[in-house]
């Protein structure tokens, strides 16, 4: 079967890591009899340099006509001086909105071979770390009204409607039902009216899922619990701002932000898949980027957009096997360990898929 995938390579290390993910997808296609048809489009700084805007209409149209979108990263210091309304990050927010992607699914898993890279003491890890942050993606302060007064005072409007909260809640409970039946709602309901609406909505929905345990944490406590006892979490359900921060914190516990994928999903099967890290301009072009987060994002694409569970498992198992064999990119290697390049890591994972 043919699958149409738009590639948004973006900036910095984006093109390098996308190339390695495509290498692994091609191995899947060869092994399982699929064909992945790639359509490369512009976004972020690359689009600004060529067309003067971070998100061209042609990119939006191509993404909407595709079966899935695989993205690298956007941004870099050469665009930092631009007006905020046309910076590369606007392209990322814009494509999420254009796709109606309201649910950002960010798994955080500590692979056993990388346990030494975790900054936490072993006794803090318990049975390990395997959680998902289910982050609402289209509301909160990122999309609220913004204003600056004449005296320089800044305003960012944090708001959520009940239907926005309801739909991300149902997504989180569906994820928990496939995992360990536990949802932790994270908010700041003791202070923020937006969070009180959030918590009241979750409290009303939770009884619809009697087999799933629901508990509630304020975001400051949740951030502490992530480092004190991360094994207690299964699915963390939270808003856009808190989810952005907590998922980055969770990524550090896994040993490297270069290991974590993400999926941004809407109502249908069309999704946007990307690593959670940035464009890393300081290492761009040096061949040392870690492509695993992007490769695992491709696995999420196979699972969530294409319904190819066996194929997604094959990628994830190949990553496990390569790590177990001791291969490391520089970000996950010990000081005395030999490392492989970005392309070599892609080669190793693709070769294992084909075995």
Task: Report, as residue numbers or ranges, the catalytic residues.
Answer: 142, 188, 220, 244, 248
Question: What span, in angstroms and rounded, lies between the C-alpha atoms of 149 and 166?
Answer: 34
Q: What is the 3-state secondary structure (H, E, C) of 39-71?
A: EECCCHHHHHHHHCCCCCHHHHHHHHCCCEEEE
Q: Rounded distance, CA 355 to CA 198, Å? A: 48
Please state whether beta strands 271-275 and 261-265 pair in parallel, antiparallel, or not at all (unpaired). Answer: antiparallel
Contact 281, 11 (CB under 8 A): yes
Cβ contact 307:68 at 8 Å: no
- Give CA torsion, residues 251, 252, 256, 259, to 10 deg: -10
Q: Which string of DSSP letters, residue by residue, matches 220-246?
A: HHHHHHHHH-GGG-SEEEE-HHHHHHH
| Maximum Cα interatomic distance, the chain, rounded to a whole number of Å | 65
Tokens found for residue 2: 């043919």
What's CA 163's distance to the chain center, in Å? Answer: 23
* CA terminus-to-terminus distance, the chain: 21
In angstroms, the CA 108 to CA 118 distance is: 12
């Amino acid at each position: 079967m043919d699958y149409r995938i738009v590639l948004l390579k973006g900036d910095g290390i984006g093109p390098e890591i996308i190339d390695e993910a495509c290498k692994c997808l091609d191995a899947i296609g060869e092994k399982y009899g699929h064909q992945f048809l790639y359509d490369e489009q512009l976004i972020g700084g690359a689009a600004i340099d060529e067309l003067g805007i971070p998100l061209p209409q042609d990119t939006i149209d191509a993404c909407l006509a595709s079966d899935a979108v695989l993205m690298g990263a956007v941004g870099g210091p050469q665009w930092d001086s631009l007006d905020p309304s046309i910076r590369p990050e606007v392209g990322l927010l814009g494509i999420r909105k254009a796709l109606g992607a309201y649910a950002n699914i960010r798994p955080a898993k500590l692979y056993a071979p990388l346990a030494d890279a975790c900054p936490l003491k072993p006794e803090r890890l318990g049975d390990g770390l395997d959680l998902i942050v289910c982050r609402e993606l289209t509301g909160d302060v990122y999309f609220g009204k913004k204003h600056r007064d004449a005296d320089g005072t800044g305003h960012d409007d944090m708001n959520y409607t009940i239907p926005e909260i309801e739909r991300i809640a149902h997504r989180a409970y569906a994820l928990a039902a496939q995992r360990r039946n536990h949802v932790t709602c994270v908010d700041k309901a003791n202070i923020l009216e937006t969070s009180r609406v959030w918590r009241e909505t979750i409290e009303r929905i939770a009884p619809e899922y009697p087999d799933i345990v629901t508990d509630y944490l304020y975001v400051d406590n949740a951030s502490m619990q992530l480092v004190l006892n991360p094994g207690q979490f299964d699915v963390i359900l939270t808003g856009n701002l808190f989810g952005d921060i907590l998922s980055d914190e969770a990524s550090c516990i896994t040993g490297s932000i270069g290991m974590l994928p993400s999926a941004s999903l809407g109502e249908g099967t069309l999704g946007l898949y990307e690593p959670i890290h940035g464009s890393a301009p300081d290492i761009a072009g040096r061949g040392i980027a870690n492509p695993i987060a992007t490769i695992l994002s491709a696995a999420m694409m196979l699972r969530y957009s294409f319904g190819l569970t066996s194929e997604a498992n094959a990628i994830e198992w190949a990553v496990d096997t390569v790590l177990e064999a001791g291969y490391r990119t520089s970000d996950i290697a010990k000081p005395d360990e030999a490392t492989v390049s970005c392309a070599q890591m892609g080669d190793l994972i693709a070769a294992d898929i084909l075995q």
